[in-house]
Chain A
Amino acid sequence: MSVLILLLLTGAPALAFATLVPGLDPAARVVVSAAASTVMAGLVAEVMLLTGLWSPAGGVAAMAGVSAVLAGVSLAIRRHRRTR
């Protein structure tokens, strides 16, 4: 279970971010996406702490939500390009 959560925490935001930068070469995409997922987790943790809404489970949900939003934005950009 913890492996699955770790994958969700690190992999999902990284994958979502990677779809936003399609022009980068694969190796750079891996490094930059890993950095992005770490930074996102940092921001979520910081916001939870400062707003008094500390909840690890809620944080995982927030990360999943942010990843979904990023993936959605990426999808919308692609659709927009295709229709243009």
Chain B
Amino acid sequence: MTTVSGPDKTGQPAPRTADHTAGPPTGRRTIPRRHGARRALARSVGDQPVGALCVVVLLITGLALFWIPLRGVRLDAMTGYGLISVLPVTTLVGAGVLAIAFVATLGAARPRRTLLAVQLLSTVVSLHGLAPVLEPVARFPTTWQHAGLIEYITRTHGVDTLLDARFNWPAFFALAGFVTKAVGQDHLDPVLRWAPLVTNLAYLGPLWLILRTLRANWRAKYFAAWVFAVANWVGQDYLSPQAFGYLLYLCWIAILVNWFRPDAGTARKEGRRRTPRARPRTGPFWRCYDWAFGPTEPGELPPRPASVQDRSVLFLLLVAIFMVATAAHQLTPFLMIAVTTGLVLARRCTLRGLPVLGCVIFASWVSLMTRAYWAGHLDEVFGGMGRLGANLSTSVAGRITQGSPQLAGVQTGRVALAVLVAILALLGLLRRHTARMNDRVVVVLFLAPFASFGLQSYGGEIALRTYFFMLPGACVLLAYLFFPDPVSVPAVRTRPRRRRLRRWRPAIAAGAFALVLISGFLLVRFGNEKFERIRPGDLKAFDAMLQRRPKGPIDVVWLTAEDTTGSGFPVMPWSYRSYERFSYPVVSTSRVPGTDVLTVAAKLHDHGADGFFVTTRGHEAYLELSGGLPAGYGTRLREALSRSAAIAVVYADRDAAVFTLRSPPSSPDPPPPTATPVTVGMTPWTPACLVYLPVLLGVLIARELRRLRAPRGERRPLRPYTVLAVPLLVGLIAVVVERFLTLR
């Protein structure tokens, strides 16, 4: 008897939260329960200790199935499908069990918050910790270039803006270098290896702050958090400015929606309301009209109360966040401005001057601090603007390779998963609208990132980035598709079996989707692992070159099977230290090892003692999968190079090999290149800008601080600030334009 006794029998408090949102105390509603509801709740599976125990057992089983068989994984047996091709079946089953256990907890009558949080964290650790646990060194070549940039800063105490475009936005590299050096962590390897997991865990903090402001039931909120973690297969979570920028982006949104939304009186009920005396309107037209334009409830809870001091400090924090984001990454501040503008236009943000302030900071940074990046080739930099169709096609169709069918399968999977998430999010939006909820904040979060499509020149990556940035909105809308009710529907006594089934129906549908999503994650997240994985030998190959030539430039000759006329780099951890000494001359393959040996030897001859030919298993896998070279080509080429009388082996193991000429022609070492630090670059009007800018920033910040102290809707106190700001703003725009025209 005692094992199945409900809360009322055991004397525990009644499951009060069943009818409440998972959010804060403000805005909680109480729905009067019908007679017997409490007993019906007690009968539900998740509400009984036995039910919770089942979920715990399921969770432990899932974790055991996922992690224990990983001991025997042989990464070298990987095919073009990436990591999933070597994962044991039990691990995949374990991932499915984790998903089912989470959704089963959502099916319970009341939220078991600790259990849900533990499950969410377990899922994040399992999915995003998979590669760091399996692979001995940090994955993904670009991670190691970032390590090289950080090492450059900590070694030279400066940047070289012409060496790498990323040095024009160096805040993140400076931060990483500063913190690691300050705590005495000279080796970045563990930081690089575990960064993806730490980053994904860190995202959950601000995401939770965003979710708690929504008028949604606890199931939708927890499911949204789970979807966010599992749908984030984009792989932008390694130690990088974009991962850091994204964290700042989430914090930015969290602060805006928690403390800078208009109060309930302003965000009044939207849509036209007809007086009860008005003539009733019937017919399909009016039904459609009422569906589209009828009255709705705001999709957010009333804003959290905060004093003027709190909000002023938070506003100053917003400004600081924006400054760091602007100095760290080129795309993130643009999206912050887009989202803030969207929120202001949707009347869900009281800081109406914030988008202007953001634009001023962003434009000033680009104009003054990144001159080395745009001067001389302004047309290329801004050429992608407005080319909506071209940006879309290069970033979607252009990303599907013509090489191996396995790689094309993974890439198609990525596009399919992104489209599925976007479509289900739209359906969720429609379902919420049908339930008369007006989710303006979430819609802005979902749609604002699309602005980057037409405005940013970002090569073929923009679709990926747009998906990444729309995830916070998409995951909420997607959760609304399954759990649209603003408060959870109470279980009632009448016809209990059918009722219970009804409550489980969304959970079953959500479970099916969760299984699809988690399988998709395991396929596409590590789908390129055959060439994105870094093997210890890859790093040793670069060490061997540095050991052989302790001073002077190093020219890394590498083989390609693609058109690299624009830009191209080998798929290996190039320049992971001594960044400035390396250059990467390329040779195109003839697809015949013997001929390639002659080409390589000729190229090495051109570069003399500086020249090394490097090949790694990751790079060879890329040539096979993306370039269409026959399987085993890399091994045959290595053998042919080793046999060549003109070429000596500098380093060789299973993972990588380095070759150089036996007797290179002697050539004098060129003088070491001098670094180009950040310089503003003077034009006739630039000194004026240097005076305007601090004053304008001060006025705009003071204007928003004044707005926080002014009564709601009162514009009069802001007028002096506006009058001051407008001419300064015009002056700044003029100087920015003048600089672009003069220095182009």
> Does B178 contact A39, Cβ atoms closer than 8 Å?
no
The B160-192 residues at the A interface (CB cut-off 8 A) are 170-172, 174-175, 177-179, 181-185
Among candidates A6, A31, A36, residue contacting B209 with C-beta atoms closer than 8 Å: A31
Given known pairs A23-B309, A32-B255, A46-B170, the reply for A41 and B175 (CB within 8 Å) is yes
Distance in angstroms from A61 CB to nearest chain B CB is 10
- Interface flags for A50-78 (1: CB within 8 Å of B; 0: not) read 10101011011000000000000000010
> Does A46 contact B182, Cβ atoms closer than 8 Å?
no
Distance, CA A31 to CA B446, complexed state (A): 23
Among candidates A31, A39, A46, residue contacting B174 with C-beta atoms closer than 8 Å: A46
Given known pairs A39-B317, A39-B324, the reply for A77 and B170 (CB within 8 Å) is no
> Does B306 contact A23, Cβ atoms closer than 8 Å?
yes
Residue B310 at the A interface, CB < 8 A?
Answer: yes
- Interface flags for B666-677 (1: CB within 8 Å of A; 0: not) read 000000000001
Given known pairs A39-B248, A52-B157, the reply for A45 and B183 (CB within 8 Å) is no
Distance, CA A27 to CA B175, complexed state (A): 25
> Does B182 contact A60, Cβ atoms closer than 8 Å?
yes
The A1-58 residues at the B interface (CB cut-off 8 A) are 1-3, 5-6, 9, 17, 20-25, 27-28, 30-32, 34-36, 38-46, 48-50, 52, 54, 56-57
Smallest Cβ-Cβ distance to A60: which chain B residue: B182
> Does A5 contact B174, Cβ atoms closer than 8 Å?
no
Given known pairs A42-B175, A46-B174, the reply for A31 and B328 (CB within 8 Å) is no
Given known pairs A21-B310, A23-B305, A52-B158, the reply for A43 and B182 (CB within 8 Å) is no
Distance, CA A48 to CA B323, complexed state (A): 15
Distance in angstroms from B113 CB to nearest chain A CB is 12
Question: Inside 8 A of B181's CB, which chain A residues have their CB?
Answer: 56
Distance, CA A46 to CA B172, complexed state (A): 8
Smallest Cβ-Cβ distance to B317: which chain A residue: A36
> Does A35 contact B251, Cβ atoms closer than 8 Å?
yes
Smallest Cβ-Cβ distance to A46: which chain B residue: B171
Residue B87 at the A interface, CB < 8 A?
Answer: no
Distance, CA A71 to CA B204, complexed state (A): 28
> Does A49 contact B320, Cβ atoms closer than 8 Å?
no
> Does B317 contact A5, Cβ atoms closer than 8 Å?
no
Question: Inside 8 A of A44's CB, which chain B residues have their CB?
Answer: 178
- Of B209, B247, B248, B313, the most chain A CB neighbours within 10 A belong to B313
Given known pairs A24-B310, A25-B24, A36-B317, the reply for A45 and B157 (CB within 8 Å) is no
Question: Inside 8 A of A3's CB, which chain B residues have their CB?
Answer: 183
> Does B314 contact A46, Cβ atoms closer than 8 Å?
no
Question: Inside 8 A of A57's CB, which chain B residues have their CB?
Answer: 182
> Does B305 contact A5, Cβ atoms closer than 8 Å?
no
Distance, CA A38 to CA B452, complexed state (A): 26
Residue B340 at the A interface, CB < 8 A?
Answer: no
- Interface flags for B12-35 (1: CB within 8 Å of A; 0: not) read 000000000000100000000000
Question: Inside 8 A of B386's CB, which chain A residues have their CB?
Answer: none
Distance in angstroms from A36 CB to nearest chain B CB is 5
> Does A42 contact B313, Cβ atoms closer than 8 Å?
no
Given known pairs A21-B313, A35-B317, the reply for A49 and B182 (CB within 8 Å) is no
Question: Inside 8 A of A45's CB, which chain B residues have their CB?
Answer: 171, 174-175, 177-179
Among candidates A5, A22, A42, residue contacting B183 with C-beta atoms closer than 8 Å: A5
Question: Inside 8 A of B170's CB, which chain A residues have their CB?
Answer: 46, 49
> Does A59 contact B205, Cβ atoms closer than 8 Å?
no
> Does A48 contact B184, Cβ atoms closer than 8 Å?
no
> Does A9 contact B175, Cβ atoms closer than 8 Å?
no
Smallest Cβ-Cβ distance to A3: which chain B residue: B183
Smallest Cβ-Cβ distance to B254: which chain A residue: A31
Smallest Cβ-Cβ distance to A4: which chain B residue: B183
Residue B211 at the A interface, CB < 8 A?
Answer: no
Question: Inside 8 A of B179's CB, which chain A residues have their CB?
Answer: 6, 9, 41, 45
Distance in angstroms from A47 CB to nearest chain B CB is 9
Distance in angstroms from B409 CB to nearest chain A CB is 39
Distance, CA A50 to CA B177, complexed state (A): 14
Distance, CA A18 to CA B673, complexed state (A): 47
Question: Inside 8 A of B157's CB, which chain A residues have their CB?
Answer: 49, 52, 54
> Does B182 contact A42, Cβ atoms closer than 8 Å?
no
> Does A49 contact B153, Cβ atoms closer than 8 Å?
yes
> Does B159 contact A5, Cβ atoms closer than 8 Å?
no
Smallest Cβ-Cβ distance to A6: which chain B residue: B183
Smallest Cβ-Cβ distance to B307: which chain A residue: A23
Smallest Cβ-Cβ distance to A29: which chain B residue: B310
Residue B508 at the A interface, CB < 8 A?
Answer: no
Question: Inside 8 A of A31's CB, which chain B residues have their CB?
Answer: 205-206, 208-209, 251, 254
Smallest Cβ-Cβ distance to B159: which chain A residue: A49
> Does A35 contact B24, Cβ atoms closer than 8 Å?
no
> Does A59 contact B178, Cβ atoms closer than 8 Å?
yes
- Interface flags for B238-255 (1: CB within 8 Å of A; 0: not) read 000000000110010011
> Does B306 contact A24, Cβ atoms closer than 8 Å?
yes
Among candidates B171, B206, B309, B310, residue contacting A35 with C-beta atoms closer than 8 Å: B206
Question: Inside 8 A of A9's CB, which chain B residues have their CB?
Answer: 179, 182-183
Smallest Cβ-Cβ distance to B167: which chain A residue: A49
> Does A34 contact B310, Cβ atoms closer than 8 Å?
no
Among candidates A30, A46, A52, residue contacting B324 with C-beta atoms closer than 8 Å: A46
> Does A42 contact B171, Cβ atoms closer than 8 Å?
yes
Residue B75 at the A interface, CB < 8 A?
Answer: no
Residue B4 at the A interface, CB < 8 A?
Answer: no
Distance, CA A59 to CA B179, complexed state (A): 9
Smallest Cβ-Cβ distance to A22: which chain B residue: B310
Question: Inside 8 A of A20's CB, which chain B residues have their CB?
Answer: 309, 313
* 16 further interface pairs, Cβ-Cβ under 8 Å (given A23-B306, A27-B208, A43-B323): A9-B179, A21-B310, A28-B209, A31-B254, A32-B255, A34-B205, A36-B317, A38-B247, A39-B248, A42-B172, A42-B174, A46-B327, A48-B178, A50-B678, A54-B153, A77-B309
Instruction: List 25 interface pairs A-B (beta carbons < 8 Å), by A numbering.
Output: A5-B184, A21-B310, A21-B314, A32-B251, A32-B255, A34-B205, A36-B317, A39-B320, A39-B321, A41-B179, A42-B174, A42-B328, A43-B324, A45-B177, A45-B178, A46-B171, A46-B174, A49-B170, A49-B174, A50-B678, A52-B157, A56-B181, A59-B178, A59-B182, A77-B309
The 10 closest A-B pairs by CB, nearest first: A54-B157, A45-B174, A45-B178, A56-B181, A42-B324, A2-B183, A56-B182, A35-B251, A23-B310, A49-B174
List the interface of chain B (C-beta within 8 A of A).
Answer: 24, 153, 157-159, 170-172, 174-175, 177-179, 181-185, 205-206, 208-209, 247-248, 251, 254-255, 258, 304-307, 309-310, 313-314, 317, 320-321, 323-324, 327-328, 677-678
List the interface of chain A (C-beta within 8 A of B).
Answer: 1-3, 5-6, 9, 17, 20-25, 27-28, 30-32, 34-36, 38-46, 48-50, 52, 54, 56-57, 59-60, 77
